[in-house]
Structure 1
């Protein structure tokens, strides 16, 4: 994988990469990517083997590069305890409560996808934020702590239930997730256990980029 990352780093000014094919084999995913290098160098075809995939989003958009990280915020959904936040005696306006949770989501996770993922129900002013009491949502421990701290000294009584590590079915029993990494390429991402890349041999590389 490092060879591919180094290649893209050397061509970060003019390089361009796009996913052109994806194939599943049980929980493993193989991506074929085409890399357009700078100057007059021909495009190259690479294959990325993703093993133990737990979540992915594949788009056909091109990107200037890709990254591989074991510290990305999106991994918190799998590796941190999931904490439920309950509330009662809510005198906050729906606008204020939704804005507070939205701000915390962006500060901790770097995007707003976690709002739909963690909030109890749709993230709208007619949703849970309008209620006087209930389950606000379930969030990774880091994000839950941020929301809990932000609700202090507000006209609402909030509490956090003991967290539990997320689990998945491994074919025999429910088990905690193993160490994970996330491969990101533009809007595309793959969360899995291991990633390996190699130059594809015998594959036509003179393809059109659209």
Structure 2
């Protein structure tokens, strides 16, 4: 099948998003590594760390689920359209095969080249639709990430942490108070109960 289901998550999109969400919330002056004298560096206060599980938030939040539903629908719509074009190509291939002994070699060659061009165009359309769908999903998620970043700043002021790490970056959580995922999820549902994902744009 020329068109494959490609809507389900999006490891590349999530990896890019996690980089964006590894937020360093510096609440004091920032010293360039190696630039401060050793005596001054020893006076720096200990860093307070908070931990967030962004994939869990995307899966469980109202906004994240809204993005998933809309992307799923866009994917199904695209699959229907591609399937119709794929069926048309199959019929053309059958017709061409039946003309092999009817057309002259030159005429058959022209028809075969035209068919191969159609197949190539179809494959490019599939790739364009995949890219467009990924972009739409990223735009939908970006709306969520902006609100998450605002929430992290709020929590940083309230809880006085300096650094946010992704759960995947931490081998083990010794102090469960460092885990702020559920509070971020609760506030996200309040601030952003839904998201509108823009329709994929293929330029066609």
TM, length-normalised to structure 1: 0.23
The one of the two structures with greater contact order (alpha-carbon pairs below 8 A, sep at least 6) is 2
User: Is the radius of gyration larger for structure 1 or structure 2?
Assistant: 2
Task: Considering fraction of residues, name the structure with more helix.
Answer: 2
Q: Which has more strand, going by share of residues?
A: 1
Q: TM (normalized to structure 2)?
A: 0.24
